[in-house]
Structure 1
């Protein structure tokens, strides 16, 4: 009889109840045991992981030689372990330092290469300039070495000569001629200030020996340019030596006595100062005589120009009052520059002689610049052109038997 067959179990159910219960109890006991085992294993695994981490940290410290007995003691105590600094891996830091050093070395080399390149570029530029200087393609800044503004009167005349024999600096002559033609009827002449930037620009053009056409500018700009030149003169028009004596003579109340003293002082002036003073005074007198048109009175002009000329209003008023007596032979003439190759040659004997003097004066000025070391290609071409003009004029004189 098979006791484990299902038919026997159905006939005798009481015999198998206890066995089933036992099996169920054994299964539940086994599951509980499994749960307990897994929890224990997890706890033990965590502890092992912590121990392994500690052992690794101690091992790294021992390998790097950074641990000490005191530090090991501190690591054991929990209070000190909180304050202890984290370990630094010197191997990585060393690598970073080496990389940074390599970068610094590379950057320094680059900077040196750049500096050397800049130096070589500068050397090349200087060499090119020197070569061009030899061939006459370029020239040093003549405005810095041989300026016209801000130098003594004699030097200014030598550097910017009017080639018709009137020894006045060309910028002053150009301004006076322009104002004589267009300023006498301009309302507010000398009272209205012009553009300072334009005046400085024209000054640079004069200093650079560039062609200047004042007809392209307005009256206030030209008056500002004339004021700029007179202000930048290192010495007074009356000279610093005679200025006090001029002031004393201008303070004399008696007209005859004042005129006499002023005549004596004017005759003691250098020739160039005397000529420049005569042109300025006669020009100012012409402006005042046209007060009805330009609305500039004697008082207006004296107030404006006396500080520019570095004299008192009383002295300037006295000089204007006696200007025709002090300078009876002075005539303000417009300047006619030397002719160029594109213009026609004169055939009148007097005009030919005048033109020859102008061309020779211009040639001497160009030679002076060449000897000073300042010559451009355009200036050199002008020199050859002037020499051709001189030979042509001399040929005309010989053919006409002049």
Structure 2
């Protein structure tokens, strides 16, 4: 597709759903239209209904999960996705001392329920203890949200710079490289990452109860926040170690990096 702002016909790899009507895009080639500025994906027939000034109207963005991060925050006019805020608030209110927080998986049907509720009810979703007693369902819903993003929180563009930053041995040079890598992220991604890292830092402060330190959390969040952009299997495998290190550095230094 031509590298210009605004809408252009696009061939999607893998299954894609329309961000306007939330139904499947059929076909193998030129299935839909993608906005080069905000990453909104829509059927050709839906594109006339979508405002192309890149301030997607709330009623046009039907889904919450799997929706581009920048698109979602623009549609809702928030700094971060409400899923992230709501889940983290809930976890901090009743889960910080829960053993194996983020490592233990919640029952997957219940996690799917939370996802469907967010897609349907948005910020009215009830994720309180009355609705979901097991806090691991809420951590599961947050991890799923982050994994489902079309562009990961640590974006494909910035990914190589973060991996390189993690390879530095000198602590000062490492932090400087991390600052440069962070500067490459879109604002909505930075805001999300900042909020999440401050939260994970608070999780580590409760390590004696939850048994989760920065290293353990980084094992969970490495692949959740980062995906290697189109590299061969060997490189991707090698990167896993560095993905962990990236997240560990971000957690431990969140106060100075953000």
User: TM-score band, normalised by the shorter chain?
Assistant: 0.5 to 0.7
Distance 1:203 1:315 in 2: 27
Which residue matches 2:105?
A: 193
Contact 2:61/2:75 (<8 A) preserved: no
Q: Which of these residues, 202, 217, 222, is aligned with residue 138 of structure 2?
A: 222
Is 1:212 equivalent to 2:143 in the alignment? Answer: no
Contact 1:191/1:301 (<8 A) preserved: yes
Which residue matches 2:250?
A: 319
Distance 1:197 1:169 in 2: 22
Alignment of 1:53-92 (within 5 A): none
Which residue matches 1:254?
A: 170
Q: Displacement, 1:153? A: 0.6
Task: Identify the structure with the greater helix proportion.
Answer: 1
Distance 1:269 1:299 in 2: 23
Which residue matches 1:171?
A: 83
Contact 1:236/1:309 (<8 A) preserved: yes
SS of residue in 2 equivalent to 1:224: helix
Q: Displacement, 1:297? A: 2.3
Q: Which of these residues, 202, 206, 213, is aligned with residue 297 of structure 1?
A: 213
Alignment of 1:24-43 (within 5 A): none
Distance 1:159 1:292 in 2: 40
Contact 2:97/2:209 (<8 A) preserved: yes
Which residue matches 2:232?
A: none
Is 1:309 equivalent to 2:225 in the alignment? Answer: yes
Contact 1:149/1:156 (<8 A) preserved: no
Distance 1:247 1:229 in 2: 23
Contact 1:148/1:156 (<8 A) preserved: yes
Distance 1:145 1:282 in 2: 29
Q: Displacement, 1:310? A: 2.0
SS of residue in 2 equivalent to 1:188: coil
Distance 2:215 2:97 in 1: 17
Encode CA deviations 1:320-366: one digit per residue, 9 max, x unaligned: 22211012xxxxxxxxxxxxxxxxxxxxxxxxxxxxxxxxxxxxxxx
Encode CA deviations 1:236-280: one digit per residue, 9 max, x unaligned: 212111100111011101100011111122223221111111011
Which residue matches 1:150?
A: 66
> Does the C-alpha gap of structure 1 residues 182 and 143 become closer, same or farther in structure 2, counting only changes over 3 Å?
farther
Which residue matches 2:195?
A: 279
Distance 2:77 2:83 in 1: 10
C-alpha RMSD of the superposition? 2.0
Q: Displacement, 1:158? A: 3.1
Contact 1:153/1:272 (<8 A) preserved: yes
Contact 2:154/2:226 (<8 A) preserved: no
Distance 1:313 1:265 in 2: 16
Which residue matches 1:352?
A: none
Which residue matches 1:268?
A: 184
Which residue matches 2:115?
A: 203
In the alignment of these two chains, the number of paired residues is 182
Larger Rg: 1
SS of residue in 2 equivalent to 1:286: helix
SS of residue in 2 equivalent to 1:318: helix
